[in-house]
Amino acid sequence: MLTRKMWRDIGENKMAFIACAVVVIIGLTAYTSMQMAKDNLFRAGDSFYRQYHFGDGFAKIKNPMPSSQVEKLSDIRGIDQVQGRLVEDVRVTGLDERRNIYLRLISLQDQKPYILNGVKVLKGAMPEENSKALLLGDKFFTAHRLALGEPLTVIIDGKKVQLKIAGTGQSPDFVYAIRNAQNILPDPQAFDVAYLPYEVMDGLFNRQGAVNDLSFALKPGFKFEDVEQPLKTELKKYGLESLVSRADQASNVMLTEELKGLEKSARSVPVLFLAIAAIILYIMLKRMVESQRGQIGTLKAYGYRNHEIIWHYLSYGLIVGLAGGILGGVSGAVLSNSMTKLYQQYFSLPGLTGKFPLQYFFSGILFALGFSLIASYQGAKAILKLKPVDAMRPPAPSFKSKTRLEKLPVVWAAFTVQGRMAVRNMIRNKERSFFTLIGIVFTYSMMAALWSMYSMVDTMVLDQFYKVQKSDVKISFTKPLPLPDVVEELQNTGGVRRIEPLVEVPVTLQKDYRKKDVTALGLLPDAELFTPVDKLGSQIKIPAGGILLSEQTARKLKTGLGDRIRLESIWARESPVYVQVAGIVPQYIGSNVYMDQKALLALLGQGDMATGALISMDPGQIPGLKERYGTSKYVDNLEERQQSIDLYKKLMDNNKTTLLLMVLMAVVAGFAIVYNSSIITLAERERELASLRVLGMRPKEVMEVVSVEQWFIGAFGVLAGVPFALAMNQGIAGGMSSDLYTLPGRTSPAALFLALLGTVLAIWVAQFWVFRKIARLDLVGVLKERE
């Protein structure tokens, strides 16, 4: 019978229970979806890495290394095997002339004991030996709607070369295919990898049996650090550009960062929501136990045992936990499927499919049940202490003394009688007021943080492209070119307004034992097209001497203003050299360091030269520029600002939906909390409120008793929520930042205002429901109860 009572109780308080269950569902959806997606991603990556022998280390060299020399590197203690290959970026023409499309050509390797970074054929077949055919990245193939057997035209050393598409394939070292660190997102329309036979590639690039890219596997028991130094020594003469372990390999970094991020969120987000659900349940149960004192007394008088009564009240939590857990698990599974689909867009992992590991479904339910039962127990445990005789009596009124506010006659006089009732009620129910406050603080700060996050991504991208990287086109050369020639040549191109030569060199910075590989940008002292900005958005002057570090580089090296740091570069005549830190600047995308162009060249011992150029020009003339230089053998890359902006805008649109959804969740949580605490007030004071109605007050006037309290707490909650929002934002920004990008932890006033609107909405909606209840109060019934 108590079960029936429970269902009917729940039926009478549908809104409150639904609101609470929704919060649980949200938390569980987050938990299940993220855990499942993480699991899918992890398993796909792990098995692909193992089956296709993802290398333990990777080296890039500038000068060709004869294949015969590669074998010798296996003599280094700890190295199991080394494989060399050719890796070259080429432009593709004939697909979409509006865009710059690149392919990274990678030579296929011989079967030794096993092939490192082996290529899994997804469509078609491996190109036959000596045939001018390639295996194309599957995403590129799909994005351009290509067909097997079709020719693809690429530009090699300024000449058009046709290659036949033999199939599509994927190797584990490019599961996240981005061209360089400046691109956060893979864009299969514009870049992907392709594999072709070594002999063919050797012929096309005229490498004469040499390689420029090495990967190796370690013997069991050895670490990357064990072979790092000997390899460096060996490869120095070949112009070692970079030597990284698997952990720092670009594509793998993206995968592991994503997994880490998922893991972090999967642990924190659900807990946050379950904690809110727990607060709601706690308040709800406390209120039920208070308002059902008489019923509890009767049950006790009839000899119901404490545990039977407690269990009855716990069953409310059980229902919420179970319903929330199951529904959340199901919707989480559904969401995990779309998350996995999203990951499929970014990661080229052949085994990445939307599976539903049941363990997360069940652990989620247990998780939800645990939270709900503990919260309900805390709310209901007062039953244990209640003696049946006392339970049958209404609780003794607790009006002991005046509140402090009442001692300020001026303030107090400003309240209507209903307002006074509200204030007294709020102050005398400190615990409940406190929980309502927490709820509002949560609702508010969550919304503020979410809106801010949106503007953070906005800032990150827009700052980069409107304040920092202002060139319309950036050209990178295949090799350094003499400075005056470059300027002269480009100046004569139609529509060009301004040219700034650029020196862009990969360097390794080191302070004590901490190291970081970054790109050093040599900028003109009067640069206008690339200008680092400080946190307030004003330009930072490039000092004549010394180096400007990005925040994340400085953090990684644990270095500060005035420190001397070690710099190594393949471009330096002498290496290492030392340079002083002249400043630290925020940077959102990539982690560059900046120097005065002349100073950088001097430091490297190089004459006047440029590795690229920044161009400001009439956008209408860009196709002309591309026409002219796109196929030049000196041009490696043509980057259009608008293309990059479009790509980020697309990403932001994706975020908008997620964001809106999360804001909605925060509103629901806020609603549930405010509604519940209003309902409690209503239940406790039903008689008083009914009496006021009998006195002739309108429902609206009676409503004030409840609403003034909520608005009061709401105002405090918003005020207290501001610092929370700021802290939450810093936390989110810190948590989401990685080597590739940094999120600014800024909270915008607009976000604070929008969050205020959201909070007001949550309170208002909750009060609307309470108002309906007041309007429907059964006056006679309420007043007749208990003479």
Partner 1 sequence: MDTVLKARNLTKYYQMGEVKVEALKGVDFDIYAAEFIVMLGPSGSGKSTMLNIIGGMDTPSSGEIYFKGKPLHGASEKVLTEYRRNAVGFVFQFYNLMPNLTAYENVMLSVEIAQNPLKAEDVLEQVGLGDRAGHFPAQLSGGEQQRVAIARAVAKNPELLLCDEPTGALDSATGIQVLKVLKDFNERYKKTVIVITHNASIAQMANRVFYLKDGRLEHIDNVANPVPPKEVSW
**Interface residues with partner 1 (CB under 8 A)?**
1-2, 4-5, 8-9, 12, 294-295, 297-306, 308, 387-389, 392, 781, 786-787
Nearest by Cα to 287 from 21, 684, 706, 13: 684
Torsion from C-alpha of 398, 404, 410, 415, nearest 10 degrees: -40
- 309/421 with CB nearer partner 1: 309
Least separation in angstroms between residue 390's CB and partner 1 is: 9
Least separation in angstroms between residue 302's CB and partner 1 is: 5
- 307/649 with CB nearer partner 1: 307
- 8/98 with CB nearer partner 1: 8
Q: Count Cα atoms within 13 angstroms, Cβ side, for 69.
A: 15
Nearest by Cα to 590 from 629, 635, 551: 551
- 300/693 with CB nearer partner 1: 300
- 13/32 with CB nearer partner 1: 13
> What's the count of helices (H) and strands (E) in the chain, helices before strands?
24, 20
- 400/404 with CB nearer partner 1: 400
- 224/316 with CB nearer partner 1: 316
Least separation in angstroms between residue 654's CB and partner 1 is: 47
Least separation in angstroms between residue 743's CB and partner 1 is: 52
Least separation in angstroms between residue 386's CB and partner 1 is: 10
Least separation in angstroms between residue 2's CB and partner 1 is: 7
Report d(CA 393, CA 511) in Å as an integer.
Answer: 75
What's the distance, CA 216 to chain centroid? 32
Could you write out the DSSP letters of every residue in 709-767? HHHHHHHHHHHHHHHHHHHHHHHHHHHH--SSB-------HHHHHHHHHHHHHHHHHHH
List the structure tokens of 783: 């007043």
Report d(CA 177, CA 187) in Å as an integer.
Answer: 8
Alpha-carbon distances, residue 232 vs 86, 210, 243, 513 (angstroms): 19, 18, 8, 16
- 4/407 with CB nearer partner 1: 4
- 271/783 with CB nearer partner 1: 783
414 three-state secondary structure? coil
Could you write out the DSSP letters of every residue in 233-250? HHHGGG-EEEEEEGGG-H
User: Is the link from the previous residue into 270 a cis peptide, with omega within 30 of 0?
Assistant: no
Q: Are strands 577-585 and 635-640 parallel, antiparallel or unpaired?
A: unpaired
Least separation in angstroms between residue 651's CB and partner 1 is: 52
- 85/293 with CB nearer partner 1: 293
Q: What letter represents residue 398's amino acid?
A: S
Least separation in angstroms between residue 308's CB and partner 1 is: 8
CA angle 266, 269, 274 (to 5 degrees): 110
- 5/628 with CB nearer partner 1: 5
Q: Which residues, in sequence order, are CB contacts of 467 under 8 Å at separation 6+? A: 531, 533, 537
Count CB atoms within 10 A of the CB of residue 418. 20
Least separation in angstroms between residue 692's CB and partner 1 is: 23
Least separation in angstroms between residue 398's CB and partner 1 is: 12
144 three-state secondary structure? coil
Least separation in angstroms between residue 24's CB and partner 1 is: 24
φ, ψ dihedrals at 513, nearest 5°: -100, 0
